[in-house]
Amino acid sequence: MKKSFLLLPLLISLTATAQQSRHNFYVSGRDNGFHFSSFFVKAQAWVHDVSAKKFHFIIASSDEEAVEKITRILNNKHAMIGSLWFDSHGLYKQGYSSFHIGNNEFSYKNITDSSATKYLYQLTPYCDANTNIGIGSCYGGATFYFPGNEHAPAGRMNGDSLMIGIGKIFIASNIYASESWVMNKPGVFADNFAFAGYPWGNKYKQPVWAPVWNYLGNWKRYNHNTGQMQNINTVALDKTGNINIRNRNYLELEKGKRKQQKNISKMTASINNENVNTN
């Protein structure tokens, strides 16, 4: 009886935390010049910021600025973070997984460096087991081997190391990242396959991109408390910025599988032709 009585305040506290007001954030960096695709996505985010009371579109030049804006809102609303999405480009040519908050880059190289992540740590009081964090860059969770190019040698992408590093900062929260492209199609906040699929352009059909095609639409989830790194279905955002997992993977769609196999076949043929010519 005494044990039950002592546990009661803890249970009440945990219940209160779970039911506390939750606000969602979509964080983007400032663009240097006009980029149509980036402008289009930011326009969608701005519209939802205006229409959804608990969704906030943050534009920042640095992680310090982003964190300052987020914490100001949370303190004013006496709220916790529901979903936090870092909208960012992934730079495949550099040969490793990364994401940016304005001018600040995060990767396996610095994600365990406290001097590089000191501002991210300021968000931890607002995150718990009910918080979801999305690395919204292409190849953010990639585990495959980069083939190498004129910019970087062949090597492992280490996206899982990046996710684990983020998980050590937000120890109770779920961390999401893609092994392949994160496409910004129309309907980013429509809870669909806007964050899956493939890019247009002939350059993406060159052999160096073969590993990315092999993981098309694949996402991963990591939680530090459980220590689990899981393969999950394609991730999506809804109209209030919640991070959701689709009931199906992108490659379960016939058109997705068809596009993937078509391009992989072309790249395989190209590689075989190069080997024949070299020999």
Q: Most confidently modeled of 11-25, 81-95, 262-276?
A: 81-95
What pLDDT is recorded for position 65? 98
Picking from 167, 178, 162, the residue whose alpha carbon sits closest to that of residue 131 is 167
Instruction: Give me 88's structure tokens.
Output: 């960012």
% of the chain beyond a pLDDT of 90: 62
What pLDDT is recorded for position 78? 96
d(CA 79, CA 21): 5
pLDDT of 75 above 60: yes
pLDDT of 267 above 60: yes
pLDDT of 6 above 60: no
DSSP string, 153-184: -SEE--HHHHHHHHHHHSTTSEEEEESS----
Q: For residue 122, name the pLDDT band (cuts at 50, 70, 90).
A: very high
pLDDT of 36 above 60: no
What pLDDT is recorded for position 197? 72
d(CA 69, CA 192): 28
DSSP string, 213-260: HHTTT-EEEEETTTTEEEEEPPEEE-TT--EEE-SS-GGGSHHHHHHH
The rounded mean pLDDT for the chain is 87
Neighbouring C-beta atoms of residue 1, cutoff 10 Å: 5
d(CA 71, CA 30): 19
**pTM summary value:** 0.88
- The ranges assigned to domains in the chain are 21-278
Span of 47-51, 83-87, 135-139 with lowest mean pLDDT: 47-51
d(CA 197, CA 219): 12
What pLDDT is recorded for position 8? 47
Average pLDDT value for residue range 35-57: 74
Average pLDDT value for residue range 92-98: 97
pLDDT of 52 above 90: no
pLDDT of 45 above 60: yes
Q: Are strands 55-60 and 22-29 parallel, antiparallel or unpaired?
A: parallel
d(CA 112, CA 89): 21
Quick: pLDDT tens for 216-256.
989 999 999 999 999 999 999 999 999 999 999 888 989 88
Q: For residue 3, name the pLDDT band (cuts at 50, 70, 90).
A: very low
Average pLDDT value for residue range 204-216: 91
Strand partners, 81: 23
pLDDT of 105 above 70: yes
